[in-house]
Amino acid sequence: MGVPSNELDNPQNFGERSGSTISLNKLDRQITSYEKVVELLSHDATYQKDVSLGKRIGFYKLGKELGSGNFSKVKLGLHVLTKEKVAVKIMDKSKMDQKSQKLLQREIENMDVMHHPNIVRLFELVETFSKIYLSMEFAGGGELYHYVIQNNCLPEDEAKRLFAQVLSAVIHMHENGIIHRDIKAENVFFAAPNWVKLGDFGFSTEITPGEMLNTFCGSPPYAAPELFKDKSYQGDFVDIWALGILLYFMVVGNTPFRGESVAELKKQILNGYFTFPETASPFFQDLVNGILKQDPITRYSLIDVQNHYWLSKEHFPVEFEKYSLTPSEQELAEKEDVRAIWTTLHSLGISAEMMTEASSKGVRSAIVGTYRIILCQVQSKDEQMKKDLLAKNMAQKLEEEKNLQQQNGVSLKRKQLMKRTSKLCTIL
């Protein structure tokens, strides 16, 4: 007989804590939340029916469709153990050729490498006879593309904050030898107001320093000129060019190169001529011109972009600290985040012994997937605290600048009044 599914809504806390340390292997032998889900997977008729209807898979309850592609669609998911909303990418294996299978394998491997607050994270892979499911971090605020279109364009101060986050994400990727190859506003997603994440790594690839690539990838409006005229190209230069197009789009509201056809667009990109609106600041123009140079060798590097005056007052998020799936007792005692992760895992019924056994399966393990979701929750809380502190500091800074401007304004008015009074006295 299956366990009633409504029992999953009331997970119990199991395990033991002693002072600041947690016993990883001692679990209360009462049935745990994890065991309840495993029971459902194996024996519950209602659950099995939901699976056949596409309403559930593994530890996930599936909801509304968020988007679709040629051989895939993305649905909103709920991880039943952690109650975390996720995005589940569902791929039909019968529609995938050898090339698309290779791209998917790269996407999985590359997402596995990255640990950054502005990059969508991969939690778990579930595979059935006919489909592949990727559970990923859910950024539910919509695409940057739609946000810009709805607002016509973004003020430079707002664009700076968002662009600094995307730039930080790309720096993290390149430092780990990963090239995105499809950077565009449609692949940048809002996780919260003023907080974005770079996603969709379907065209990403791993490279060695100086390695040349020869496959045309990405969206034509964001394509670098060397993609149209050279047999091979350096991936990092192509990503940097795409960042320049993205930045221009954010501030201006359209891309710098446009055409009725790909042939016309190619002609415009190779010509290299574009203009700025009168409202664009000189520093913004200088930065974009430095990125969108025809010669990739003279194009600004990522560090050049980061150090540019236009971004001099911006915060650049750094990569997350990497934690072991099987922490030592010392790490458990010394690191608050590690304790928080294992307190939650323990409450769900997942022990260190279970994690050790599951670790070899990596992304294909439901236990590892649960760990990654909890890790994301813990690190997101830490990141939110940093964002709140940053916002507070920025607000204080703006208030100080406002007060200074007011003081300067008062001083100027006094000087002007003194001048007028002096002239009047002279006349008299």
Residues 301-347 pLDDT 10s: 999 999 999 999 999 999 998 888 888 888 888 889 999 999 999 99
Contact 157, 401 (CB under 8 A): no
What CATH number is attached to the domain comprising 257? 1.10.510.10
Which domain, by its residues, includes 111?
5-138+321-384
Considering its fold, how many domains does the chain have in total? 2
Least Cα distance to 148 among 219, 280, 254, 220 occurs for: 254
Q: How many CB atoms lie under 10 A from the CB of residue 177?
A: 16
> What whole-number distance in Å separates Cα of residue 311 and Cα of residue 73?
37
Q: Domain check: are 287 and 347 in the same one?
A: no
Report the catalytic residues: 182
Question: What type of residue is 291?
Answer: I
Domain end (from 283, 311, 339): 311
Contacts of 315 (CB under 8 A, 6+ apart): 161, 164, 390
295 in the same domain as 167: yes
For residues 93 and 233, state if they share a domain.
no
Distance of alpha carbon 171 from alpha carbon 318, whole angstroms: 10
Whether 377 and 252 share a structural domain: no
131 is in an annotated binding site: no
Q: Cα–Cα distance between 306 and 172 in angstroms, integer?
A: 13
Residue 426 lies in a domain: no
Q: Are residues 30 and 167 in the same domain?
A: no
d(CA 259, CA 392): 44
Let me know whether 297 and 153 are in one domain. yes
In a domain, 399, yes or no: no
Same domain, 191 and 306: yes
pLDDT, tens digit only, all 428 positions of the chain: 343 334 334 433 333 333 344 455 555 568 899 998 998 888 888 888 888 888 999 999 999 999 887 778 999 999 999 999 999 999 999 888 888 888 899 999 999 999 999 999 999 999 999 999 999 999 999 999 999 999 999 999 999 999 999 999 999 999 999 999 999 999 999 999 999 999 999 999 999 888 899 888 889 999 999 999 878 899 999 999 999 999 999 999 999 999 989 999 999 999 999 999 999 999 999 999 999 999 999 999 999 999 999 999 999 999 998 888 888 888 888 889 999 999 999 999 999 999 999 999 999 999 999 999 999 999 988 676 566 556 665 566 556 666 766 676 655 555 554 444 433 333 32
The answer to whether residue 80 is domain-embedded is yes
- Let me know if 269 is exposed, middle or buried by CB neighbors in 10 A (0-12, 13-18, 19+): buried
Residues pairing with 137 in the sheet = 86
Per-residue pLDDT tens over the stretch 173-227: 999 999 999 999 999 999 999 999 999 999 999 998 888 998 888 899 999 999 9
Alpha-carbon 344 to chain mean position: 24
Torsion of the alpha carbons at 281, 287, 289 and 291, rounded to the nearest 10:
-150
- Shared domain for 129 and 190, answered yes or no, is no
- Is the residue at 392 inside a domain? no
Report if residue 96 sits inside a domain. yes
Please check whether residues 290 and 163 belong to one and the same domain.
Answer: yes
Question: What predicted TM-score, i.e. pTM, was given to this entire model?
Answer: 0.82
Asked if residue 292 and residue 153 are part of one domain, the reply reads yes
Q: Is residue 99 part of a domain?
A: yes
